[in-house]
Amino acid sequence: MKIIQAKNLSDFLKINDFFWKIWKEEFNIDIFDKIDEYKKQIIYFIEKDWIIISAITCKLIDTDSYIRRFATNKNNRWIWIWTILLNELIENLKWKWIKKIFVTSEIKRISFYEKFSFIKFWIIKNVWNTQVVEMKKDLI
């Protein structure tokens, strides 16, 4: 397994299908079409036997970045997959002189991001019936 950066329409279609399957299962979403959105983001993913098992997307705005989606399919939720994808993204953003990275984290995932020096900066709120908190990390 290796990390791949999404660069072409085929990659974006696969990413869209991957996230749709994840969110359909979790949030009962019928339609999920974010391909145009993905074309404007940095995306890394890992495949196993030609099937995406984990992916992370990030939107750049000026000198800040925002993790938009980050998921791993249920059968492959090993912490090292999340770790290598997030590390790859962070290192890439540093090379682009991005100053901060932000993420909206589910309450149960806060400790994962804290291991990467993310800090909570926003109160708990509800998104799609899930409690989340805004977190950030300084890169420079």
User: For 83-124, what is each residue's pLDDT tens digit?
Assistant: 889 999 999 999 999 999 999 988 888 998 999 999 998 777
Does the pLDDT of residue 78 top 90, yes or no?
Answer: no
Collapse the DSSP code of 103 into the 3-class scheme (helix H, G, I; strand E, B; otherwise coil) and give the result: strand
The domain spans of the chain are 3-103
Is it the case that residue 128 has pLDDT exceeding 70?
Answer: no
Q: Is 86:109 a contact under the CB 8 Å cutoff? A: no
CA nearest to 14, candidates 50, 40, 49: 50
> What pLDDT is attached to residue 26?
62
Architecture field, domain 3-103: 3-Layer(aba) Sandwich (3.40)
| Residue matched to tokens 């000026």 | 62
Q: Look up residue 134 and give its two tokens.
A: 């805004």
Q: Residue 127's pLDDT is what?
A: 63
Q: Tell me how far apart the alpha carbons of residues 86 and 102 are, in angstroms, rounded to a whole number.
A: 12
The answer to whether 90 and 47 have CB atoms below 8 angstroms apart is no
pLDDT in tens, 14-63: 999 998 887 766 656 666 677 889 899 999 999 988 889 999 999 999 99
**Residue whose structure tokens are 């800040």:** 64
Residue 62 zone, left/alpha/beta (φ > 0; ψ -120 to 50; rest): left
How confident is the model over 74-81, as a mean pLDDT? 73
Q: DSSP letters along 41-82, please?
A: SEEEEEEETTEEEEEEEEEEETTEEEEEEEEE-GGG--HHHH
pLDDT at residue 28 in the model: 60
